[in-house]
Every structure is written in C-alpha cells, then in structure tokens.
Amino acid sequence: MLLASHSAVDVYSAIVPPIIGLLEVRCELQRSETALLLGMGPISSGLSQPLTAWLSDRFDSRLLAPLGLLIAALCLTNIGWATNFGELLGLYFIGMIGVGMYHPIGASSMGHLSGQLGAQRRSLGISLFFVAGMIGGISGSVVASWMTARPGGFEMLRWTAIPGVLLGAALVVAIRRAPHRDHAQSAAPQLNAEMQARWWMIAVLYTSNAMRFTVNIALFYLYVRWAQALVVETGAATGEKEIAQVAAPISGQLIGCTMAGMAIGGVMAGSLVRAGRERLPMILVPMFIAPLIAMFPLVDRWGAYVLAVCAGVGFAAMIPVAIGLSQRLLPHRTSLASGLMMGGAWSVALLGPPFAEFMLTRSGYGMPGAFIGVAALLALSGGVCCLLNQQVLRDVAVRRVPRSSD
C-alpha cells in the first residue's frame, strides 16, 4: 500500500510541470509568473514536510499522510478550473502542500519496516519507495501532457482524482498501526560530540540534496523552453497557443525520461551502495553526469531523451541513499530526518526556475549557458559530500543512538 500510494501522490505532483506552457497560455501568464508558479511547488511541498514530520513524531500519528494524498488528488487534478494566475497559484500551492504532507511519513514508515532487516535493507526499501514515486511521476507527466493537449483534456483530468481518494482511504487502515520510530536502541549514553557530528552530517546531506532538487526543477523548466524552441525551429507549429500545445507532449516525455533515470539510479544505488560506504558514490555520480547535462543544447530530440535519462540518474541516484542514511543518523526522529532530506531540501528548489530563466534571458549565454549553469550546480552537489565523515558513516551502519539523545 505504501508503494501504491507513493506512486499515486507523485502522479498528481507531476501534472503541472509538463503542461506549464499550456497553463501559461490558458491563464495569460508572464514568463516571470510561470517561473514563480513552478517554484511554488517545491516551497509549498517542501516547507510542509518538516512540520508534518515533527507532528508525526510528536503525536506518533500517520493520519497526515492519507490526508495529504486526498488534498493533492483534489487540487491538482482540478488545475483546469484556474482562469488566472491567482487561482492557478492557489490550487497548485495547496495541492503541493498535500504532496508534502504525505512524503515524510511514507518514507519513515517504509524505512522502519525495511530497516528491521538491517541497514542495507533500509536503503533498498527506501530506494523501492523512491522508484514507486518515479513510476508515478513518469505516468503523471506523460498522461497529463497527452491528455491536456487534446480538446476537453482538462475536464477528463479531473476524473483521475478518484484513484487517489480511494487509495487515501485504504492508506488510513494500512498504516494506522505501522510503527515509524526506532524504539529498539542502545541504552549506552552518547557524547555531545557524537551527536554534533551526526547533526553535521545531516547538514551536509541536506545541502547536497537541496542542490540536487534545485537541479531537478531547473531542468524541468528548461525542458519546456527547449521543447518550445524545438517546435519553432522545426516549423511544427505557429502561434503561441499552437506552439505550447505541440511542445507540451515533448516536455512531458523529457520529464518522463528524467524520472525513468531517477528510478534507475535510485534502485541501482539502493542495491549497490553498501551501508557505511556512501561517501565516494555521493561525490562521483553527480560529477560524472554533470558534463552530459551541459551537452543538452547540442543534441537532437532523440539525443535529448537519452541525456534526460542520464540527468535523472545524476541528480537522483543518491537521494534515497541520503534519506536512508539520515534515518540511521537520527533513528529517534526518522520522520524529521526524512522530512529534512526530502521536503526541507526540496523547498530550496524554488530557486531552480528563476535561476534557469535568468540564465536564459539575462546571462547573455542563452540556452547553452543555462544548461551549463545547471550542470555546474549538480557537480557542486557532489563536491559538498567531500565533507561527510567516513568514521561516522561506518558507525551508523551498525549502531543506533538512544531515543533520549536529541
């Protein structure tokens, strides 16, 4: 049920980015409003996650997860009701709050259930949870862009809320008694120095994840602009509305390819990266992929699909590893740890679209400069991980901190 519900909530979270060009024409948005709207998704879902996580840990309750799924389903599938920027922003903002409410509790529950079988199984379990979300994201981006590009598509989109409502009801029963806090902890007192080292590691992981998520949203914005430029260049459409309609499925396919790469990278990392040995892959994977993102303006449409898959691997493969590691660093606050690594870091991604738009229009380097800037940020997210403490990584692979040490 956790995997199915995660797929569902990420279907809804993926509706708006690939059709942002259509919404831009439909609601007569300025380009600055489009970038702001896309940035509101990360900030609303991101900031709601730490608060939800704290409430979940404080009251030992998981009801906010199905409630979040319900809110996301109802708001995001009805995005077509909006006729202006204010209405569009309201529906998207509230819907993404619902997305944020679901994630820390879902990830914490999955981490606890799989973590009972060992640290490595925790990483694998969270990777599967991550992949389930990517499957939902791929489905949402492709189906939403395909559906809304057709007459009556926004009306049809509203019916897709029904599976989310049903899954939300089922999730209430499924996770009501599922524990999400590690109670079986060592009774040995922990030194303040060790807790400080653990929180330092959390800060490093948070910073790196924030950069990765910023790359994520910046790329989604650039895909829309790249697809529109491709349509104009090939003469496939003329007129602002027609260009947006033809470009929407292309940008949706690029986002789907990226999410496929995220899923591939996530499951490979969860299977291959051993507990206690996370530091080196967290440094090298983004640095290796970054040059491929910079090559994006040099390829054709089919080459762009391949690079989009690679980009997904580059910025997302280590995200589930970071979530699992954070839960081991703070086993007495697993929802909070998950919320910081996902929503807390995700909220910073609101900077992605404005950064991409600035590079496109103000830097003087246009599309190539924008992709190079995003590639540099991805490489930096790997460099930050050089600050991870290898000794602490080895310690938390086999040992837990007591509940009283916070």
Residue of 347, 325, 348, 349 whose CA lies nearest to 337: 325
- The CATH classification number of 2-178+189-396 equals 1.20.1250.20
Q: Distance between CA atoms of 321 and 344, rounded to whole angstroms?
A: 16
Question: pTM of the predicted model, to two decimals?
Answer: 0.73
What is the band of 192 on the pLDDT scale with cuts at 50, 70, 90? low
**pLDDT single digits (tens) 270-299:** 778 887 889 999 999 999 999 999 999 999
Over residues 71-85, the mean pLDDT reads 92
Q: Distance between CA atoms of 312 and 262, rounded to whole angstroms?
A: 4
Residue 19 reports pLDDT greater than 90: no
The tokens for 191 are 């030194």
Residue 51, classified by CB atoms within 10 Å of its CB into exposed (0-12), middle (13-18) or buried (19+), is: middle
What is the band of 92 on the pLDDT scale with cuts at 50, 70, 90? very high
**pLDDT single digits (tens) 229-239:** 999 888 877 77
The tokens for 80 are 């077509």
What residues does each domain of the chain span? 2-178+189-396
Higher-confidence residue of 404 and 200: namely 200
pLDDT at 114: 66
What is the band of 187 on the pLDDT scale with cuts at 50, 70, 90? very low
Q: Distance between CA atoms of 144 and 165, rounded to whole angstroms?
A: 18
The count of C-alpha atoms lying within 13 angstroms of the C-alpha of 167, restricted to the half-sphere facing its C-beta, is: 26
Residue of 28, 10, 153, 150 whose CA lies nearest to 82: 28
pLDDT at 404: 39
